[in-house]
Amino acid sequence: MHWCIAAGFTDRKLRPLLPDDCESLCVMPNTPIRVGQGILVWETGSTLSADMEAKLAELFGPIALIVPVDSEHMDIAGAIAGCSPAFAAMFIEALSDAGVKYGLQRAQALEMAARVLEGTGALFMADHNHPGVMKDSVCSPGGTTIRGVSQLEKDGFRGDIIDAVDAVMNRQ
């Protein structure tokens, strides 16, 4: 069996490079797999038998959310899963920089920023509330959070995230 974890590869590109009797699977793991909180994007329609797919799901299920996608969506799913840990790390660093700017120790600021992402992700996974609902539940009328959200919107936070994904997809 052959695995392909190269960005931009699909089974259609991989098959001509392999013997006819070889099973193959194109996947894109992300780095949080190392701590059992990862994502493994898995191309559907591979040459794997159902038995082998079940064995791989059993192997990776405990350490990753397995996301099966068709060939057409491997690039975007791989970009979201594979690149976003870097984007999230930048957010943690920026948030901790703000904490240090206002007097927190770096270690405290980093721990809090990381826990915010971890906890917010866990909250979403538990409730599956739309992120807008989650945001609104923290924003009091005229309060501090809505002022921060307003500034992020003014500065193009969402657009910057989409632009980063566009750059990964070479479509900017």
Specify whether the CB–CB gap between 46 and 24 falls below 8 A: yes
Same domain? 87 vs 159: yes
Residues of the chain with pLDDT > 90, as a percent, come to: 67
Same-domain status, 15 and 55: yes
Tokens of 112: 């809090």
Rounded to whole angstroms, the Cα distance separating 98 from 46 reads 46
The sign one gets for the Cα dihedral 14, 77, 28, 44 is negative
Say what the pLDDT of residue 99 is. Answer: 98
Q: Identify the domain boundary among 18, 40, 71.
A: 71
CATH number at 142 reads 1.10.3730.10
53 shares its domain with 109: no
For the cut 70, the answer to whether the pLDDT of residue 1 exceeds it is: no
Would you say residue 5 has pLDDT above 90?
no
Residue-wise pLDDT for 65-93, tens only, equals 999 999 889 889 999 999 999 999 999 99
- Mean pLDDT across the stretch 114-134? 97
92: Cα within 13 Å, side-chain hemisphere: 20
Domain extent for 54:
2-71
pLDDT tens per residue, range 27-60: 888 999 999 999 999 888 777 778 888 888 898 8
- Based on the fold, state whether residues 13 and 31 are members of the same structural domain: yes
